[in-house]
Amino acid sequence: MKLDQIFDAKKMKKLRLQKGFSQKSLAAMAGISNTYLSNIEVGRINPSIKTLFSIAKLLDVDVKTLIIDDDSNE
């Protein structure tokens, strides 16, 4: 299965907002550009595995939280 089929960009954005991070601040902490994070959140591009793990850590969630469960209705 490809990353774009399992990565949940909407969930990542929701968690970012819940944690009170702006795109700019989360991007800076993750060592990526704001544009790159924006493109990830709208589904234009997929994050690298390294970026995915970094963002999960910053959001204080397990990387599995950012993965779409095949059994869910999302």
Contact 47, 56 (CB under 8 A): no
For 60: left if phi > 0, alpha if psi spans -120 to 50, otherwise beta; the answer is: left
Looking at residue 69, its pLDDT comes to: 61
Return the SS3 of 22. coil
Looking at residue 70, its pLDDT comes to: 52
In the chain the domains, ranked by start, together with CATH numbers, are 3-66 (1.10.260.40)
Residue 31: pLDDT above 80? yes
| pLDDT (tens digit per residue) in 8-27 | 889 999 999 999 999 999 99
Which of 62, 42, 40, 61 lies closest to 51, judged by CA? 40
| pLDDT (tens digit per residue) in 36-63 | 999 999 988 888 999 999 999 999 999 9
Partners of 67 in the beta sheet?
A: 7
pLDDT interval class at 67 (50, 70, 90): confident
